[in-house]
Amino acid sequence: MNASSPPTTMEPLSARIPSDLYLWLAQLQVEGAATNSDKLRVLLGQLKRQHDGAFDYVAAHAWTRDLTARLRDSLVRIESETGQHSEVVSLLLDHFIAALALAISQAPADAGQARQFEEALVRRAAALCETLLRQGTPASAAAYDPQVVRRHLGTTLDLAQPLHPSTSSKGS
């Protein structure tokens, strides 16, 4: 708690929940929360911010990283056990987290803000495409399956070719 915020009054809450939910909550890893009471406080706070639309981009980014923690932890374990790492998966997750955070943190009030959101979202999508193209440029990508990017980029490249000025003017 910082010096400018008023002290928080704690209120007791009692609830009966099914045992499967209780066991799930007891095993759930929530950053900064050790007890079930702590976990409920953190989770209810997240839900309230989500409901109130109070997620700014940074908070939404942190929340989406939290949502993907199990996946990221699993990938770290696989890397530790096998020595294999996928730069492709890491980069894709970074883009997905950022794009989802961008969407969660937005509620355009007018057409101008909708255009700004569209600009930011398309910029993020284009950066994702550039990332995949960079991984597809060498003979093999830095991935669990070195051919995964090349295998899926063919149609994208075919669609992009008419957009490139130097390729469209060659036929003229």
SS (H, E, C) 27-62: HCCECCECCHHHHHHHHHHHHHHHHHCCCCHHHHHH
Q: How many residues does the chain have?
A: 172
Mean pLDDT of the chain: 88
Higher per-residue confidence, 122 vs 28: 122
Name the band, by pLDDT with cuts 50, 70 and 90, for residue 1. Answer: very low
Which pTM value belongs to this model?
0.72
Which one-letter DSSP state was computed for residue 105? Answer: T
Q: Return the closest-CA partner of residue 139 out of 149, 131, 129.
A: 149
Please report the pLDDT score of residue 67 as a whole number. Answer: 84
Give the per-residue pLDDT at 10: 86
Q: pLDDT higher for 170 or 16?
A: 16
Rounded to whole angstroms, what are the CA distances from 113 to 56, 58, 107, 108? 15, 18, 8, 5
More confident: 123 or 51: 123
| DSSP letters for 93-162 | HHHHHHHHHHHHT----SHHHHHHHHHHHHHHHHHHHHHHHHHHSSSS-SSSSTTHHHHHHHHHHHHHGG
* pLDDT score, position 24: 92
**pLDDT at residue 166, rounded to an integer:** 72
pLDDT for 3: 53
Q: What is the mean pLDDT of residues 93-107?
A: 94
Confidence of residue 71 (pLDDT cuts 50, 70, 90): very high
